[in-house]
Chains A and B, each alone.
Chain A
Amino acid sequence: MAKSPLSIAVVAAGGDRDDAMALASLARRLACEGGGTVHALATGDSDDVRGLAAVLAGALAATPADVVLLPDTPDSRILAALLAESLDAGILTRCTSVARSAGGFEVACATYGGVARAHYRLRAGDHPWVLAVDAQAITGSGETDPVPVIDVAAPAATSHVQVLSRQARQPSGLAGARVVVTGGGGLRSEEDYRRVEQLAELLGGVAGASKPAVVRGWARAEQKVGLTGARVSPDVYIALGVSGASQHMAGCARARVVVAVNIDRRAPIFAHATYGAVADVNTLLPVLIDAVRNAR
């Protein structure tokens, strides 16, 4: 069966615009197979995500698309769902690859916290598809011809929700950090987590946390690295007392080098680590801090 021409829209909203633009090359590639067009809709942030989805759906009604691509980030995932409802479209998120096939698309999605991948065949033609795609997982990205961008004004205030207060939190600094040092459930006390921060500072990096360190109140929620926390892509990721559960590893899979310290040699973190040490992190950490200090 021949592939039919596709109209593909890439939606870039607020802070996710860079990731969205990275999807333009995927869109171009999909459109090249069988012909088609690509355009982008760019908009800002809005506290009323339903209002934002409504204006984007209006814009998409004027420039219809067979496939709408958004970056797979928490905010864009919600936007994707609301757009799917407005456009009466099918939806999949957590997509790590998208390819055209006869009659539709072949899509892979991360599942079970990243320990597995499900492959789907989506039928095209019945209705549009909204896909939230992990921009970092798309291979073959590169420079492509510029995509025409339509600017869409984000709604300010709507009937759905009103902002009563807004308080900026101290930024975690994890995004863009070259070195991230993360403390996890293997740490015994808050004092040990403070040492994690100390090591991060010595290395010119930023302190992160896995879920146990946040639940115990040692680290702030925005320091959590993982599937439902920050996604980092540092040169070096140092995981101290982190077990390496798939939900955590989903947040640091893009690190170039992973260093692990864990007392349990069977801990899954070692399956992801470039190098590591089997040791009690609580006793090793003060010694490591001294060694790093002396090495500088």
Chain B
Amino acid sequence: MRIVVCVKEVADPDRVNELAQGRFLRVDAEALDLDHEHIGAVMNGYDEQAITVATSLRAASEECEVVALACTSRPPEQLLRRAMELGADRSCWVRLAAPLHSPRSVAHVLALGVQFLGGADVVLCGHQASDDDQGVVGPLLAAQLDAAFAGDVHRVEPGRESTLLLHRRAAEEDVVLEAQRPALAAIKDDAWQPPIPKAMHILAARRVAPLEVTPEQIGVDFQRVAGWESGVERVGFELVESGGDCDIVEGDSLDDVAAALVARLRGSGVL
């Protein structure tokens, strides 16, 4: 069985929040994006969760490999090394000439990347990326690959015959779905904590270089991609201002502070 995990590098969301907290976030007026100068890049958190799910599925399966797949214009050395440290067996980079902005273009390239790798029984994506928050590449990719799809999945197990069990945490219920392979799951696990990388995986991450392929090699339809990319143009970018005029209650003791809060709650009509 082959599991392909799609991974993406994003601006470190913790750092973005930290800078937002101090009102130090800046806009890159030329790129129409955040100014990334003081923001590091990390693997998207949901993609890390997806690799954890993939390695658990590998442990429960026979003859199974986990391949991390990235399509980006910037060399994703750190990203794919991280994927290997988390337990991926190998990695593949589709080397783009320029970043893609349309999720349809991204899904097209990733689908061809999966096919170039020999196909996949399971494709895992993060629930969404923490930069654009769009959350649509997974379902788009499932449709391109004609794969079963489920979102909000936190665990995948081998099922009977050629099926997979997708454990899905929906809004109000836990659902176990039996999906035919190939299947694609968008991973989201609110209780996930980063695993400590094993020494063997850290060593493998240093030893095994990513497979590097070009869009031409995998058969990207450039006309199609150009159509998607030209249909959407980013024309502005702004930071969202928050209020900032909080009424801070004070007091000489905790009792005073609590009394002041109670008075405000009364004024708000909840007491």
Binding site for B on A (CB under 8 A): 15, 47-50, 53, 74-75, 77-78, 80-82, 84-86, 90-94, 106, 109-123, 126-127, 159-169, 171, 178-179, 203-205, 211, 214-215, 217, 221-222, 224, 227-229, 235-236, 243-247, 249, 257, 259-261, 265-268, 270-279, 283-284, 287-288, 290-292, 295-296
Contacts and interface: CB of A to CB of B under 8 A. Distances in A.
B134 interface: yes
Given A113-B17, A126-B231, A74 B151 contact: yes
Interface in B206-240: 227-228, 230-240
**Which residue of A115, A260, A276 has the most chain B CB atoms within 10 A of its CB atom?**
A115
B169 interface: yes
Contact of A90 (B17, B165, B228, B244): B228
B177 A279 contact: no
A91 B13 CA distance: 24
15 contacts: A78-B135, A93-B135, A116-B34, A116-B240, A126-B227, A169-B173, A236-B269, A267-B21, A275-B246, A279-B254, A279-B257, A284-B257, A291-B262, A295-B271, A296-B271
**Which residue of B136, B172, B191 has the most chain A CB atoms within 10 A of its CB atom?**
B136
A121 B190 contact: no
A264 to B, nearest CB: 9
A68 B265 CA distance: 43
B228 to A, nearest CB: 7
A204 B265 CA distance: 12
B17 A111 contact: no
A244 B271 CA distance: 25
B236 A118 contact: yes
A296 B169 CA distance: 38
Given A126-B231, A276-B249, A163 B176 contact: yes
Given A118-B237, A205-B270, 7 more contacts: A47-B175, A49-B139, A85-B107, A266-B21, A271-B246, A287-B257, A288-B261
Given A169-B172, A274-B247, A283-B254, A91 B104 contact: yes
B143 A288 contact: no
B134 A235 contact: no
Interface stretch (B62-70, B76-84, B114-122, B124-132): B124-132
A93 B134 contact: yes
Contacts of A284: 254, 257-258
Nearest to B137: A81
Contacts of A179: 270
Interface in B129-173: 130-140, 142-144, 148-152, 165-166, 169, 171-173
Interface string B238-253: 1110111011111000
B178 interface: yes
Contacts of A246: 16-17, 20
Contact of B262 (A47, A127, A295): A295
Contacts of B11: 112
A261 to B, nearest CB: 8
Nearest to B132: A111
Contacts of A169: 172-174
Interface in B173-204: 173-180, 183, 186, 188, 190-193
B102 interface: yes
A283 to B, nearest CB: 6
Contacts of A259: 261, 264-265, 268
A165 B175 contact: yes
Given A84-B104, A222-B172, A271 B244 contact: yes
Contacts of A291: 255, 258-259, 261-262
Nearest to A273: B246
Contacts of A86: 143
A118 B190 CA distance: 27
Given A50-B148, A122-B232, A229 B190 contact: yes
